[in-house]
Structure 1
Amino acid sequence: MSAPPLIRKVRFDVRPWGDGPDPARELVPYIDKVSLVDLVSGFEHAAGHGVPGAYAGIVLDHFAFGDLTAYLTGRPDSTHWAKRGVIALLGCTCGEVGCRSLEARVLIDDDLVTWRGFARPDRPGDYGSFGPFTFRRGQYERAVREVAAVISGS
């Protein structure tokens, strides 16, 4: 019998991205108060990946994600993401998701949401021991609703 999953807490922060008088908005996931950027960068350093890190959150003003709630719950409107069955949780520091993204599957059941199957499509590498990250469904959906309200209000 396998051990029950470690339950984490997630939040999504929106912060300014870029220089200039009118910066874009960046969406950064946090797991247990640590940014996903820091978590994956630490993993890549420890695993000896060639060029670890260099991630940013999803730059919302540069990325056609469709409905944010649908996207973050693994039901992206975009045909590209829906066909692949994954979502990008991070993008590159240049602001492009297609340049250096971190993708994962979002699995939802009655009580839990899990991010698993992490990968970087721009570069091969073993992410099998990164994650999975499991959240209580109610807490995850609340975090998604809160960030969607922030995005729609800005």
Structure 2
Amino acid sequence: MDRIHFVYRSADDEVEIFINGRSLIDLAGAAELPEARRTREPGLAGSYAWLRAAVIRRQLAHFLGTPQASWFGDGDTVLLGCECGDWGCWPLTANIEVSDSMVTWSALRNGHRDWDLSSFGPFRFGRVDYDQALARLADTLTRSAEA
């Protein structure tokens, strides 16, 4: 099982995602680099920004298969946005499937590039641990909104 951790950065009002102790942006950059080199655009690999907490604060179900933001319109969930801060400008998305025992992020893809990211994921999280990580994030976001 993979491990997930959400970190709220109050200075930027953003939520960072870590999988197995590594930043999702770093993981995406490593997965995209071969395709970016192939298309002679190595500087574009991993050029993402974290999601704004203001949107996530309204509905944490975004990470439970009910996306607040989607790019392809097929139920995909935006995990990372563009460096400009707009979720829809340059997103990294995944399909999120939820069962009683597991949450799976699969079919990770970039909204503007037809890059083969088939080696990126899937990520499988135990449902109890995943729910606990979301609960900790919800608590942090609630406290930050009250401050």
The structure richer in helix per residue is 2
Is 1:56 the counterpart of 2:49? The answer is: yes
How many angstroms does 1:129 deviate by?
Answer: 1.6
Label 1:15 to 1:65 Cα distance change in 2 as closer, same or farther (>3 A): closer
Picking from 9, 12, 15, the partner of 2:9 is 15
Distance 1:117 1:10 in 2: 17
Q: Which residue of 2 aligns with 1:35?
A: 23
Q: Which residue of 1 aligns with 2:139?
A: 149
Is 1:72 the counterpart of 2:63? The answer is: yes
How many angstroms does 1:75 deviate by?
Answer: 1.6
Gap regions ≥5 residues in structure 2: none
Label 1:26 to 1:116 Cα distance change in 2 as closer, same or farther (>3 A): same
Q: Which residue of 2 aligns with 1:4?
A: none
Distance 1:153 1:130 in 2: 34
TM-score (structure 2 length as normaliser): 0.84
Q: Which residue of 2 aligns with 1:19?
A: none
Which runs of at least 4 in structure 1 moved beyond 6 Å after TM superposition?
Answer: none
Question: In structure 2, what residue type is equivalent to 1:107?
Answer: E
Overall identity of the aligned pairs, in %: 32
Secondary structure at 2:140 match in 1: helix
Question: In structure 2, what residue type is equivalent to 1:10?
Answer: I
Q: Which residue of 2 aligns with 1:26?
A: 14
How many angstroms does 1:125 deviate by?
Answer: 1.3
How many angstroms does 1:84 deviate by?
Answer: 3.0
Picking from 106, 121, 128, the partner of 2:111 is 121
Q: Aligned Cα RMSD in Å?
A: 2.1
Distance 1:142 1:123 in 2: 34
Secondary structure at 1:24 match in 2: coil
How many angstroms does 1:73 deviate by?
Answer: 0.8
Question: In structure 1, what residue type is equivalent to 2:132?
Answer: R
Instruction: Judge conservation of contact 1:65–1:71 (CA < 8 Å) in 2.
Output: no
